[in-house]
Each structure stands twice: as structure tokens, then as C-alpha cells.
Amino acid sequence: MTVSDIEVTAIIPVFNDRLALEQAIPQSIKALSNLSKNFELIIAEDGSTDGSAEFVRQYQQKDPRIHLLHNDERLGRGRALNQAINQAAGSIVCYYDVDLATDMQHLPELISAIRDGYDVATGSRLLPGSDIKRTGGREVASRTYNLLVRIILGSSVNDHQCGFKAFNKQRIQSIIPTIKSNHWFWDTELLVRCQRYRCKLKEFPVHWRAGKGTTVKLKDIFEMGTSILRLWWQIHVS
């Protein structure tokens, strides 16, 4: 299989996720193999210090469809994703979180949406039909955050931060360079800018479980709020 033959590129952003990779890589290969004969899996490893890169290199030797994209110093989740998308060979590019919080049973629907002509597809924890489990504090914070994004930035999306998205690579190549966020706000900014570029977007409910050790801190909420206002300024004033 040559680079030009690849249809689907899946990306997993990673930072010190050595243990999670033990499940994420084999489950990804199994799910992707059922979807396409021609795919690649990029592990966007962002300056990890726990042996994540070495673990992926071992897998690479056994399976040429797996590619390690390593950074010696941490770029931030957003910049690591930008880098991986730019290097992706597939005409369809998707990414999801390494803890597989979104059930992989939804991967066929994610990829099929792009095959059916959508420019962007995203899972949602906030649509009717979604099945989610997380603490009450996280639920309130998420709903408040997404409401602010819709009100302030005029987005029609219900859940901007679900780490389960796919794109028509050709359609979003001109949008990626406009994204200023380097870290967690990247997901939101991408969806907001895609809507401003009139991309055809599909949002669908998912089965989702919070990963172990994930918490919402006051600092995170403040940074998210600041990022919303900063993006509004960039769009409307700058």
C-alpha cells in the first residue's frame, strides 16, 4: 500500500499515556480494519516522559500502518494535532482521545459521515440519545461552557469539546492555519471556524465514559472562558 492509497488517517494525541496506549492501539487497529482496507494510525506523542514514544516504536516495527509523530518538547495538544493532520495521508482524517472515552462502536458513523459528503463530523455528549457518565460538577461545567460558546460565538454545535471528530482533509486544510489555540480550546476553535467557512457539519450522540483521573479545575474553567472571549475578539475585531 502506498501513501496515495490511504483513505483514512486516525490520530490519537498522547501525552504521558503509556498505559492507555496498551488498549488504544490494538482496539484502534481492530476498529479501523473493519472500516477500511487502506488506513494509517498516527500517534501524535507530545513530549511524553513515561515511555510512550518507545512503546509506539515497538508497535511500529510489527505494523507499518502505525506511525509515531514524536516531539521532544511539548507543543500542546492543539499544535500536535495540527502537525498530525498536516502529515496525514488519508483523504478522511479523524482523531479521538487515547482513553477511548467515546465508545469505538461510533467510529463507523464518524467515518461514514465524511464519506457521505459532510466536511466535519463530531460526536456529542449533549444531544438527546447520548449516554454519558461523569460527575455532576463536570456535567454542569460542560453545559455552561458549551452554552457560552453558542451564545458568544454563534455556534450551532451542542458539544464542542468531545474528542471524537473527523474531517474531509482537503476541505479543512485552509482552515487549520487560522487556528490560534495550542491546547484544549483547539477543538472548539476548529468547530467555530469551520462553521464560519460554511463547512457541512454533522453532530451525533455517543456513548461516553469519563476517563480515569480527569478533573475540572477552577483554572481550566477560567482559561476556557478567556479563550471564548479571545476568539470572539479575533473574529470580530482583529
CB count in 10 Å sphere of residue 190 = 26
Among the options 17, 97, 99, 187, which is catalytic?
187
The verdict on whether 99 is a catalytic residue reads no
CA dihedral 21→23→24→26, nearest 10 degrees, is: 110
Residue 201 burial class via C-beta count within 10 angstroms: exposed 0-12, middle 13-18, buried 19 and up = middle
Contact by Cβ (8 Å): 32, 116: no
Produce one character per residue of 100-121: b if its CB has 16 or more CB atoms within 10 Å, e if not.
bbbebebbeebbebbbeebbbb
Catalytic sites, residue numbers: 187
